Amino acid sequence: MQSEFESEGFDRPDMDLPGHINELIFAVVAANPNTAVVLQSGTPVTMPWIGEVKAVLQAWFGGNECGNAIADVLLGTKNPSGKLSLSIPIRCEDNPAFLTFRSERGRALYGEDVYVGYRFYEKVKRDVLFPFGHGLSYTGFEMKNLRVQKNEEADKLSISVDVKNTGKMDGEQVVQVYISQMAPSVQRPVKELRGFKKVMVPAGSSEGATLTVSLKYATSWWDEGRDMWIAEKDEYRVLVGDSSANTPLEAIFELAKSSWWLGV
């Protein structure tokens, strides 16, 4: 077996854990069903045992204090509040870039276009193991009372929501805001993340969270015909939740006319 399982210097040929680690996990679970798996990897891995284990902690590569951080989470000293920065597919073949993996005669093809990550899975309605933005906690949260204010002159879209901690432990929740154009004139992702905010909520309490994003950044796409960005006349949905797969709160705003712009 190679000395390194993954590296920034090469691509993995698959998503499987190396060696006999999967067989080890199955054996441990068979001996003790109350098993939690801690994964330290830089990218997603397949989890054929996911239906057998009680919990999975994705620890990534956290540096010198990673061991202490893992211990704090496992022992309940710290309530975890991290969210996935990517989608974890079920199989390697489910990846949007699977058909264009590796270079072909010196050419690297990025065939997924704008459909990277959750944008691809939602567009083709393909299930994932864990969605983008997902992350559990030792407590529970409820979001309600979505308020949206649009200010075209100031180029601002303000989104406010109330977050309630429904459990018995203080915790942090990440409010995620996605924008979905309802009738675009080109193919677009189902929705796109346009803002997020982490809010600390004591057990049994509620806290307000407000995000303000650029209206043109939240709505625009690249118009190849004009070689400019366009914020297209249309209705737009504001979708708020705790992952790309869970956005129960919804509001609608409208752009009365299309506008084009350049720059950043």
Which residue bears the tokens 């796109």?
192
On whether both 110 and 181 belong to a single domain, the answer is no
Residue 264 or residue 65, greater confidence: 65
Q: Which of 2-16, 84-98, 162-176 has the lowest mean pLDDT?
A: 2-16
Is the sign of the CA dihedral 107, 113, 115, 116 positive or negative?
Answer: positive
Which residue bears the tokens 């067989």?
23
Are 46 and 91 in contact, with CB atoms under 8 Å apart? yes
pLDDT value at position 1? 44
Asked whether residue 129 is assigned to any structural domain, the reply reads no
pLDDT value at position 126? 97
Asked whether residue 221 is assigned to any structural domain, the reply reads yes
What is the number of domains present in the chain? 2
Asked whether residue 69 is assigned to any structural domain, the reply reads yes
Asked whether residue 3 is assigned to any structural domain, the reply reads no
What is the band of 205 on the pLDDT scale with cuts at 50, 70, 90? very high
Buried/exposed 145-157: b ≥16 CB within 10 Å, e otherwise: ebebeeeeeeeeb
Are 54 and 30 in contact, with CB atoms under 8 Å apart? no
On whether both 244 and 155 belong to a single domain, the answer is yes
Domain that residue 67 falls in: 21-123
Closest CA to 44 of 100, 114, 121: 121
pLDDT value at position 104? 84
Among 91, 123, 155, the domain boundary falls at: 123
Closest CA to 212 of 144, 142, 161: 161
Asked whether residue 49 is assigned to any structural domain, the reply reads yes
Are 151 and 215 in contact, with CB atoms under 8 Å apart? yes
pLDDT value at position 11? 78
Mean pLDDT in residue range 102-114: 88
Extract the tokens encoding 61.
């590569």
Asked whether residue 198 is assigned to any structural domain, the reply reads yes
Mean pLDDT in residue range 173-202: 98
On whether both 147 and 221 belong to a single domain, the answer is yes
Asked whether residue 210 is assigned to any structural domain, the reply reads yes
Per the prediction, the chain carries an average pLDDT of 94
Rounded to 5 degrees, what are φ and ψ at 241? -170, -155
On whether both 66 and 178 belong to a single domain, the answer is no
Rounded to 5 degrees, what are φ and ψ at 143? -105, 140
CATH number at residue 234: 2.60.40.10
Residue 13 or residue 39, greater confidence: 39
On whether both 71 and 165 belong to a single domain, the answer is no
CATH number at residue 54: 3.40.50.1700
Which residue bears the tokens 């004009």?
226
For 121-149, the pLDDT digits (tens) are 999 999 999 999 999 999 999 999 999 99
pLDDT value at position 3? 58
What is the band of 9 on the pLDDT scale with cuts at 50, 70, 90? confident
Closest CA to 132 of 74, 79, 97, 174: 174
